[in-house]
């Protein structure tokens, strides 16, 4: 049950945090959010990459012209306070900022109220399978000339919802979105990597969300002595990969079994497993020790 919500500086109950029908974000998708995980470790509850997430949160707010009355440090402290208040150990944290109730007009007028809330949920494994079968969506990922692709804006997720809906009543676990030029972009809520001849390859920034897990994986890869390259690639190249995986806060590191029913041939997932094992150590505070902020 979610009953401890940080809202505009105070911990309130779920009922007190409810929004009204005239909330701008409800009509126009004018919200921004984050998804962060906290892990229970031998040193206590640690929040993974807290500062990076809240930096992106502020960046997303700015992209929609929202005035943030809190500093980065204050927002990080608010997250810590919320996790403590929730009493949860391992959990998923959802900071959310939205244009609240105000005049009905697409462009929020200067001074249109912005609410910020933070709350925690229990979240175990996000994916339905250990290795996922994915389907290339007919929808392309939001176009960089239509929006601010690397901001985590609520309205962007209509694109993700539509792509994910194509997997309903099929054996596919997840959707894969291409960009406007037919290059592989990312999943509905996750970035993608593949491995070919011991090289770790991922989509460059531009059309995708600048995933915090993606940054972590790039760094883990390099520290494991793996060559890491950010470049465009097509689905055909992905199908020929030795290994592939999705990554993100919710999905963590999830190997991909097949793309449009074509099984990845090689795969013993050797490098994926190596990266996954290191990621598990980060979650426990045993590797990149400063990646966790203890509450």
Residues marked active site are found at 152
The count of other CB atoms within 10 Å of the CB of residue 197 is 8
221 contributes a contact to ligand PMP by CB under 6 A: no
Q: Which is nearer to ligand PMP, 11 or 160 (CB)?
A: 160
Q: Which of 30, 86, 191, 267 binds ligand PMP (CB under 6 A)?
A: 191
Annotate each residue in 41-80 with x if it binds ligand PMP (CB under 6 A) or - if it does not, as one string.
Answer: ----------------------------------------
Q: Are strands 174-178 and 132-140 parallel, antiparallel or unpaired?
A: parallel
Nearest to 76 by CA among 98, 60, 52: 52
Give the nearest distance from C-beta 252 to ligand PMP in angstroms.
Answer: 9
Beta strands in the chain (DSSP E): 5-7, 10-12, 31-33, 36-41, 44-48, 91-99, 114-121, 132-140, 174-178, 184-187, 191-196, 199-202, 227-230, 243-248, 252-259, 262-263, 292-294
Q: Report the distance separating Cα 217 and Cα 48, nearest Å.
A: 13
212 contributes a contact to ligand PMP by CB under 6 A: yes
Q: Which of 25, 97, 120, 209 binds ligand PMP (CB under 6 A)?
A: 209
Give the nearest distance from C-beta 11 to ligand PMP in angstroms.
Answer: 25
Tokens representing 10 are: 């105070």
- Give CA separation, 275 vs 52, 82, 120, 162, 223, in Å: 20, 31, 27, 31, 10
Q: Which is nearer to ligand PMP, 112 or 233 (CB)?
A: 233
- Give CA separation, 129 vs 35, 126, 239, in Å: 21, 9, 19
Q: Which of 97, 190, 244, 271 binds ligand PMP (CB under 6 A)?
A: 190
256 contributes a contact to ligand PMP by CB under 6 A: no
Give the nearest distance from C-beta 62 to ligand PMP in angstroms.
Answer: 17
Choose the stretch contacting ligand PMP; rule: CB under 6 A; options: 92-100, 126-134, 165-173, 204-212.
204-212
Q: Which of 5, 23, 30, 35 binds ligand PMP (CB under 6 A)?
A: 35
- Give CA separation, 174 vs 163, 166, 234, 243, in Å: 9, 9, 18, 17
214 contributes a contact to ligand PMP by CB under 6 A: yes
Burial 114-133 (b: 16+ CB within 10 A, else e): bbbbbbbeebeebbeeebbb
Q: Which of 137, 213, 278, 293 binds ligand PMP (CB under 6 A)?
A: 213
Q: Which of 154, 211, 221, 255 binds ligand PMP (CB under 6 A)?
A: 211
Choose the stretch contacting ligand PMP; rule: CB under 6 A; options: 6-14, 87-95, 205-213, 252-260.
205-213
Footprint of ligand PMP on this chain (CB under 6 A)? 35, 186, 189-191, 209, 211-214, 248-249
């Amino acid at each position: 049950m979610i009953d401890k919500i940080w809202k505009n500086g105070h911990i309130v109950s779920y009922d007190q945090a409810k929004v009204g029908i005239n909330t701008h974000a409800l009509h126009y998708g004018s919200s921004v959010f984050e998804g962060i995980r906290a892990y229970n470790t031998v040193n206590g509850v640690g929040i993974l990459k807290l500062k990076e997430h809240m930096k992106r949160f502020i960046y997303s707010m700015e992209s929609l012209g929202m005035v943030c009355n809190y500093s980065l440090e204050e927002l990080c402290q608010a997250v810590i306070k919320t996790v403590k208040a929730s009493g949860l150990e391992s959990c998923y944290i959802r900071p959310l900022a939205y244009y609240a109730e105000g005049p009905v007009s697409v462009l929020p007028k200067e001074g249109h109220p912005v609410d910020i809330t933070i709350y925690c949920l229990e979240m175990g494994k996000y994916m339905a399978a250990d290795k996922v079968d994915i389907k290339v969506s007919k929808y392309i990922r939001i176009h960089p000339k239509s929006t601010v692709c690397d901001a985590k804006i609520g309205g962007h997720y209509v694109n993700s919802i539509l792509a994910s809906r194509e997997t309903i009543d099929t054996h596919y676990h997840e959707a894969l979105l291409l960009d406007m030029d037919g290059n592989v972009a990312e999943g509905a809520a996750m970035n993608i990597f593949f491995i070919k001849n011991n090289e770790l390859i991922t989509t460059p920034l531009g059309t995708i969300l600048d995933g915090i897990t993606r940054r972590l994986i790039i760094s883990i890869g390099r520290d494991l002595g793996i060559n890491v390259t950010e470049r465009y690639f097509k689905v055909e190249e992905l199908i020929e990969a030795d290994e592939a995986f999705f990554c993100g806060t919710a999905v963590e590191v999830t190997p991909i079994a097949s793309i449009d029913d074509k099984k990845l041939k090689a795969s013993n997932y050797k490098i994926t497993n190596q990266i996954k094992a290191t990621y598990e150590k980060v979650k426990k505070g045993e590797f990149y020790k400063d990646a966790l902020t203890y509450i």
